Chain A
Amino acid sequence: MFGKPFGSPASGARQPWLTPRNLMAAGAAVNFLAILLGSALPDQVIPLRVGVILTGVACALVAVNHRLRNFNEDVEDRATTAGYLALGSFVVLLAYLASREEWDTFRLVLGIFVAVGLVGAVLVLLPMLVRRVVILLLVLFHFGGVLTAVFSVVPPSGVQCWVTGALWTYVYRPYLQFMYLNNAYHFYSPEPGPATQLWFRISYEDPKVPPRWVRFPRREDYPSRLSYYRYIAMSESTTYGRAGYPSDFFGENKRLWWRIKDRARIPYHPDLQPNKESLVPDLSQYREPNDTTSKKYIASYARHVARDPAYRSPQAPDTPVKTVKVYRVLHTFLTPSEMADGLNPEEPSKLLPVYMGEFDSDGKLTDRYDPELYWVVPILRVHDGRGGFVIKDYVAVHAGDSRSPATED
């Protein structure tokens, strides 16, 4: 039954030494060498060690793949192929042992390869009909996971489906995350909605160097539209809101109180204030991002702007950045009536900025007690009393500038 346990060289092959058996042996030997390298020189020749590990894994994969693509359904061939899969798993296990503990995600991939190899070995041993049944069950599991991701999204005005939530948490999370299948495919839903920009106001260590505004992203800054859309996606990542209100929101000398006190300097946005006579802002004007992701992303973006030489001052490129103020700006679109009337799509009053805070070069929030923190800072089109209109840019007022990106051009 196992007369040819490792298969035989391809007949008439120009390189008779290039057989799955030899490749597998080479893979094992190479990964043993990598283990020895790791023991002898744990912190040196890292690229060499990585190269050796990858070579060993590649040899094993090629050997296994060659067997998988050529085996017949007779028992001996199936057993041989299963043996190759098991051996391949062993070689990958050696690679796992040869890698450093800090390469945790690399080890994750190798661990998965080991598991897949062992499962594959069992599958190959099965008769074809049974194998196909098992494969179909795996397909059901796979699409079950895809559908779990689809139905796990919390509806706009509802509660998450408990069944899919529990399935995702307890069964599918590792699979969907690793395979990058966690998307719900809710494209442009429930509504397409307006896009988001980020405005950075960069202040420098030298007070004589004037601050600089950066509007992000701008179409003209990128060689390809694809890059531009990636950065739009980055801006959108800052829009996930916090549930409820923080503990320091209500009450005297808390966030709401400070906003009320500041209304003379920065008025409430009239379109978001149903009761215009009220001294208290409508709470729809408070838009704190969530702590789990959006706040961290905003801080990281500010940190990057502070450290990237591209955002230094053109007049003083050697002067480091001191702080970065961040505004998250919703760019609402014209109504059909406004477009018919000839209003410019870049009309400043269609922008809805929310102040996200001022950060130092390490991305730490420096103005936790700014009265406008997480509040809408309006840009308004108001009558000038002479039959025309003027733009009141309160972002510029808040930032202490004469202009903001809304009124710069």
Chain B
Amino acid sequence: MRTHPAASLPPPADGGLMGFLRAVNRFFFEPSDTATLGLIRICAGSLILYVHLIYSYQLYQLFGKDAWISDGLVTDIREEYPIPPSDFRWEPEKSTLPPPSEQEEEQLARYREKWLGGYAPDADPRLLWSRGQYVWSVWFHVTDPTWVAVVHVGILVCMLLFALGLWTPVTGLVSWLGMLSYVNRAPTTFFGMDTIMNVLVLYLTLAHLFARPGTAALSLDRLLWRYRRRRETGAEPAGDALSSSATFAIRLMQIHFCIVYLASGLSKLEGSAWWNGWAIWQTAANPEFAALHQPRYHDLLAWLCRHRVLWEICMSGGAAFTLALEIGFPFLVWNRRLRWLMVIGAVLLHTGIALVMGLTGFSLMMLALLVSFIPPSTVRHLLGLAERVPALVPGKALTPAPVGAHQ
């Protein structure tokens, strides 16, 4: 019997602690069809490639020595950014450090002026818990324009190969480390899309690092595996093994998606605009984001404004829909009957964000993560065309892995 990671939580076979532990084991590790993971890899890999291809137009302006965030500033932040300690008492403890020497005082005064402007005038930098950040980027160390271009192309090639599913453990890891390089070098240019992109690449890489060879659906790795097995055995490889690393990665994606929605939904409750419906107007009428420069969009919005009741219904309805979906999704998506409603609702939400705010990249990344809730059988059904190329899709009669095989 096939197992779909998007299935609702199975009832424990026996009650009590052992039953719970078995349910957790099944939830995270029961081997499953890798079709969903393969589709996510293609979608996410293509998006990641596109996102980094776009950097090509502004490579030196964003990552060069005299970029918008200069090399010197980003190094300073990486090495010196102040991290204050948490107070373990109600009143701050008096410093018991010895008075600094003259030379030390000069250094402390320089640091204080540079970083501690918002602190008390006599703040002692020696009392900071730490300084700096644990971040990495190839662009911290490669600044020559020629080598910047070479490394950039190399990373793009890896991302392309990852999207195609070739040598996925290595290309996935390089894609992830490469992606980190861009966001850490130009930290002010990232937004929600990049955080979701990181989640996708991270979990996809994890899945492929531990997956048995030939189990990655919809990939060139699988094509090559089948080709090699045919040459070695002289026969068509029988079916495909299920993969528990795919289940594990899918579960991580699902849980992370739920956390994103819950955090986003609950934090919105802090703002009055989400209670009175004005939040939707603030996105729809934002000149920097919305398509107000498009006459049809502008005219539609103006027409809506001339019909107040309709305006209020639309805005309040939109706000209520957003809140209900984001807060309800993490709890209702696990119910088999309601799952499709939640998935469709999320698709509508992100389609709306893409259309109204123009945040197409962010919406597509979220939708790629949402695919983790689609059962592999549905993915195969959607890709019915692909079944004409049997090598691309694991065989219809899936076979369990051999006894004793690592899962």
Contacts and interface: CB of A to CB of B under 8 A. Distances in A.
Contacts of B272: 191
A122 interface: no
Given A72-B405, A106-B136, A147-B259, A230 B189 contact: yes
Contacts of A102: 141
Contacts, number: 258
Contacts of A156: 270-271
Given A105-B135, A237-B188, A292-B82, A224 B57 contact: yes
Interface string B190-234: 111011001100100000011111000000000000000000100
Given A150-B263, A177-B133, A342 B288 contact: no
Contact of B115 (A62, A72, A219, A292): A292
A48 interface: no
A400 interface: no
A39 to B, nearest CB: 20
Given A169-B83, A192-B286, A177 B135 contact: yes
Contacts of B256: 143, 146
Interface string B259-289: 1100110011011111000110111011111
Given A177-B134, A186-B264, A233-B190, A226 B51 contact: yes
Interface residues of B, number: 110
A300 B212 contact: no
Nearest to A157: B270
B180 interface: yes
Interface string A95-125: 0000000111110110000000000000000
B50 to A, nearest CB: 8
Interface in A192-225: 192-195, 197, 219, 222-225
B334 interface: no
A71 B62 CA distance: 44
Given A177-B134, A297-B69, A291 B263 contact: no
B351 interface: no
Contacts of B192: 183, 185, 187
SS class of chain B's interface: helix, strand, loop or mixed?
Answer: helix
Interface in A264-298: 290-293, 295-297
A308 B61 contact: yes
Contacts of B68: 234, 300-301, 304
A345 B289 CA distance: 12
A232 interface: yes
Contacts of B264: 185-189
A316 interface: no
Interface string B133-155: 11111101100000100000000
Given A109-B177, A339-B285, A229 B69 contact: no
A128 B404 CA distance: 11
A230 B183 CA distance: 11
Nearest to A334: B285
Nearest to A333: B285
Nearest to A350: B287
Given A189-B271, A192-B283, A166 B195 contact: no
B380 interface: no
A333 B136 contact: no
Contact of A69 (B189, B211, B263, B404): B211
Given A180-B198, A243-B118, A227 B169 contact: no
Closest 9 CB pairs of A and B: A291-B117, A190-B271, A195-B288, A237-B188, A105-B136, A340-B305, A186-B267, A191-B271, A189-B267
20 contacts: A58-B170, A62-B170, A105-B140, A106-B141, A147-B259, A173-B130, A177-B135, A180-B198, A192-B273, A193-B282, A195-B288, A197-B288, A230-B191, A291-B114, A293-B77, A297-B69, A304-B61, A304-B68, A336-B308, A340-B306
